[in-house]
Structure 1
Amino acid sequence: MLYHFVGIKGSGMSALAQILFDMGETVQGSDIEKEFFTEIALRDKGIKILPFNKENIQPGMKVIAGNAFSDDHEEIVAAHELGLEVVRYHDFLGQFMNEFISIAVTGSHGKTSTTGLLSHVMNGAKKTSFLIGDGTGMGLPNSEYFAFEACEYRRHFLSYTPDYAIITNIDFDHPDYFASMSDVFNAFQEMSRKVKKGIVACGDDENLKDLNALVPTYYYGFNEDNKVIAKNVESSELGTSFDVYIDGEFYERFTTPMFGNHQVLNALAVITICYLEKLDIILIKDALQTFGGVKRRFAEKKHQNQILVDDYAHHPTEIKATLESANKKYPTRKIVAVFQPHTFSRTQAFLQDFADSLKPADKVFLCDIFGSAREASGELTIKDLQNLIPNASLITEETVADLKAFENDVIIFMGAGDIQKIQKAYENLK
């Protein structure tokens, strides 16, 4: 079978293409010719990437269509004309996972980091194939488990019936689709009814406490009323260490090389899944210590005396968590935030929240809002956000030299658009 991916550079699509390729299938795909970080792994594996063209569609193919592309896309139209099977990404993934013991990782924030951690730790004990929202995917032969990121946007996760689900939190996001916080909650509530064995949920999240699932719910967190609790949390140069108690009894002390309370919560979720599946605790403990992170989630590099961080944070809650991690890891350095808001609708909905989340930084630089001209209605500009943050400055590719003034500090480039172009321009300065 030859699989053709319409929109293969999408993060989920790229990961799924890699999984099928690893499992011995013939895979190719098409997309726009703009360069995306997700295509690096595809090219490394020799997966063919073509420009969009209806001539790409040939008899005998199975077409997997990315969710960003409508039914009138030229390749999808051509596939239907040839009588080919066309399956949407989320529908294909929903069918695929039934071959494994599957663990869906969902939530408004932290999905990618938790999925990456889960797949890494579980592979320390059992073969686990995985699909991560940073464009990473791997299909391991004879895998017993499948860990995957399940996105709530447009309720796509309702296509899945996993054995387990990790739910990290419920927060209002995607204001272009969800009408209200209750609309978001209802989507997660409906998703919870599709889980077959158990739900692992953050009990410290007030919204998750209202979840009414049909399977057992195992709550984790710092609060004493959770089933799985982290205590005696300590940070050091090695990362963060903490004791885990399950049902009030000491289980084990773990160390993660990550920093911040949200990283401890992610680890608790993973440990809980491993506990439920009775995986070897020593192997799990060792694997947790060697986790190197995922793409675009606090990805660091040294630049002269500075630390440059690339991070996907594009919601106020995520920005707060990223700045907390930076302050805990680098308590003696100034933290500089370079932020690009993602879409005009999200910026309008969270304008004051963005300002409040960025204020803990020692200095804030703002880039123009990333979004289509079609969406840019009204008079909203980046200056509306700048006016809410004391001493915030604007920055472009032409003015990145302003960052040189912070010669011994941490500079975090945050956003879900093309914020990397600002970091790249800065690194390329003579």
Structure 2
Amino acid sequence: MYYFIGIKGSGMASLALILHDCGEEVSGSDIEKYIFTQKKLEEHQIPFFAFNKDNIKDGMTVIIGSSFDETNEEVKAAKDNPSVSTFTYAEFLGTLVDKYHSIAVSGTHGKTTTTGMLAHVFAQTRPTGYLIGDGTGVMPKGSKTFILEACEYQRRFLAYHPDYAIILNVELDHVDYYKSMDDYLLAFSQFTKNIKKGLAIFGDEENTRKLTIETPHLFYGVNDNNDVYATNIIEDEKGVSFTCVYKGEKFYDFKLPFYGIHLLYNALGVITIGIMNDMDPETLQDGLATFEGVDRRFNVEEVGDNVYIDDYAHHPTAIKLTIEAAKQKYPNKKVVAIFQPDRFSRIHYFIDMFNDAFKDADAVYLCPFPENAKKEEGIDIDINDLIKRVDGSKICNMKEEDIENLSAEGPAVYLFMSSKDIYKLKDHLKDFQNH
């Protein structure tokens, strides 16, 4: 019996679903507020409850979410019970990685999308399990390959020893934990020591080239000093096409329905891992071209003259790339960017980068921090500080009058960005405009 404390967490929900697919008995607990990850848990009839120490039973294996410690009554009850085995999320996932031909996807940006993309490609030829940070976990019967998202926060990815890995990029984040770029780089260098067979690493970035890498590896990107690179790149309303070159020779001409240079980079990472695993180019083309995306990553709804896009972007670089992708896909439409920050420390550290991040949007609305946002000691900041830094931005308090103001911007591409539940605001606006 596996019991998850914090089962609605995106990684925790994914892991619970995988164990359920493996035929295990799974349940858990969490806060009562609705979180989008619980939909899949409900669909799979995985029970979850409010926190209560009496939920912990003798003989359970208890997996503890990263947000919880012994101040939580269930965590304390589990650790006080000698018949109960306890693991952190990362510790337990590390044991699962060792049982499969495993591929980990790491980096500051793009992990979730690339993990989904890679899993979809591998599933063209073999049963493939995967764990994605959008609350999706799948382990088909007969799977011998397991693809997982590996987050660097608090060095949790050091619990994994995969056969292969991708490092998508290295740009300082999680500044509540990492206090310097040197320490952030060190964590990724440490991670490369865990990789058993091969690493695909983005080579067009100064930081990735600084890493100390001891495992066999291939660099990829759009510059011709990489082992795998794209040339003859064409980006338009239909997506992107390019010629892939591997070790100086043409590998294949790809044509993909992807928008934004970041998705081209992600696709090149997948192609590089495919090359390492002896995949033929036609399989890579077909798998990439039929990938439809993952939850909360550039999810597009077109209703009448308006377009509603939900995206997880919360770092300035990710915001900038997401706006560029919307502009590429809808070159003749107005793009209205709506953003809700998540961590006070992230906004405080990167505040001078946000004006540039939003500059290509035609209108910018900024929402206050959510009530449950963690406020780190010594950081005194609110949404008005960000509004002062982002030219032309306006406040959106997520109230009825704000919905009316957003609606008046239409017809438009409404781009909702946050790691929090900003999709609720998107649904409210969509209902207001179409009923």
Q: TM-score range by the shorter chain?
A: over 0.9
CA contact (8 A) 1:125 1:280 kept: no
- The Cα of 1:397 is off from its aligned counterpart by 2.0
- Return the offset for 1:237: 4.3
Q: State the match for 2:58 in structure 1.
A: 59
Q: 1:93 touches 1:160 (CA, 8 Å); kept in 2?
A: yes
Alignment of 1:5-404 (within 5 A): 5-83=4-82, 84-370=84-370, 372=373, 374-375=375-376, 379-398=380-399, 399-404=402-407
Aligned residues: 429
Q: Which of 422, 427, 430 in structure 1 is aligned with 2:425? A: 422
**Amino acid paired to 1:124:** Q
Return 167-176 or 59-68, whichever deviates more. 59-68
Residues 239-284 of structure 1: per-residue CA shift (max 9 Å, x gap): 2121111001111112222111110110011111111111233222
CA distance in 1, matches of 2:381, 2:265: 36
Secondary structure of 2:172's counterpart equals coil
| CA shift for structure 1 position 58 | 1.1
Compute the displacement of 1:141 (Å). Answer: 1.8
Cα RMSD, aligned residues only: 1.5
SS in 2 for 1:103: strand
C-alpha separation in 1, matches of 2:379 and 2:182: 27
Quick one: which amino acid aligns to residue 166 of structure 2?
Answer: I
- CA drift of 1:382 comes to 1.3
Identify the range of structure 1 (387-396 vs 187-196) with the bigger mean alpha-carbon deviation: 387-396
What displacement does 1:50 show? 1.0
Residue 264 of structure 2: SS of its match in structure 1? Answer: helix
Secondary structure in structure 1 of the residue aligned to 2:185: helix
- With over 3 angstroms needed to count, the CA separation of the structure-2 counterparts of 1:425 and 1:57, relative to structure 1, is same
Residues 374-412 of structure 1 show CA distances to partners (whole Å, capped at 9, x for unaligned) of 548554221221122222111122211111223221110
CA distance in 2, matches of 1:327, 1:405: 20
Counterpart secondary structure, 1:243: strand
Aligned counterparts of 1:266 and 1:222: Cα–Cα separation in 2: 12
Q: Which moved more, 1:211-220 or 1:155-164?
A: 211-220
Amino acid at match of 2:119: S
The amino acid across from 1:290 in the alignment is T
Q: Is the 8 A contact 1:339 1:415 kept in 2?
A: yes
Q: For the Cα contact (< 8 Å) 1:256–1:291, is it kept in 2?
A: no
Partner Cα distance (1:418, 1:376) in 2: 24
Which letter does structure 2 place at the counterpart of 1:134? D
Distance across 1 between alignment mates of 2:235 and 2:351: 33
SS at match of 2:20: helix
For residues 212 and 390 of structure 1, the distance between their equivalents in structure 2, rounded to whole angstroms, comes to: 40
Superposed CA deviations along residues 313-335 of structure 1, whole A, max 9, x for unmatched, are 00011001101111111111111
| Cα displacement (A) at 1:235 | 2.9
Give the gaps of 5 or more residues in structure 2.
none
Find the aligned partners of 1:421 and 1:352 in 2 and give their Cα distance. Answer: 28
Q: Tell me the distance in 2 between the aligned counterparts of 1:212 and 1:350.
A: 26
CA distance, structure 2, for counterparts of residue 147 and residue 379 of structure 1? 40
Determine the C-alpha separation between the residues in 1 that align with 2:324 and 2:134.
Answer: 22
User: Aligned partners of 1:281, 1:392: CA distance in 2, in Å?
Assistant: 45
Task: Give the AA of the match of 1:384.
Answer: D
Change in CA separation of 1:248 and 1:373 when aligned onto 2, cut-off 3 Å: closer
- CA distance change for structure 1 residues 241 and 120 in 2, over 3 Å: closer, same or farther? same
1:127, distance to aligned residue in structure 2 (A):
1.7
Q: Is the 8 A contact 2:5 2:63 kept in 1?
A: yes
Q: Which amino acid aligns with 1:149?
A: E
Which deviates more from structure 2 when the two are superposed, residues 172-181 or residues 299-308?
299-308
User: Unpaired runs of 5+ in structure 1?
Assistant: none
CA gap 1:329/1:373 in 2 versus in 1, 3 angstroms: closer
Q: Which residue type is aligned with residue 18 of structure 2?
A: I
TM-score normalised over the length of structure 1: 0.97
Contact 1:129–1:140 (Cα < 8 Å) also in 2: yes
2:342–2:373 contact (8 Å) kept in structure 1:
no
Listed one character per residue, the Cα deviations across residues 76-130 of structure 1 (whole Å, up to 9, x for unaligned) are: 2222333200011100111111111111100011111110100011111222100
Return the alpha-carbon distance in structure 2 between the equivalents of residues 396 and 21 of structure 1. 40
The 1:379–1:159 alpha-carbon spacing in structure 2 relative to 1, beyond 3 Å, is closer
Q: Distance in 1 between matches of 2:34 and 2:73?
A: 21
Separation in 1 of the partners of 2:71 and 2:190?
30
**Percent identity for Structure 1 against Structure 2:** 43
Shift of 1:238: 3.6
> Following TM superposition, by how much is the alpha carbon of 1:422 offset from its aligned partner in structure 2, in angstroms?
2.2
Q: Is the 8 A contact 2:94 2:160 kept in 1?
A: yes
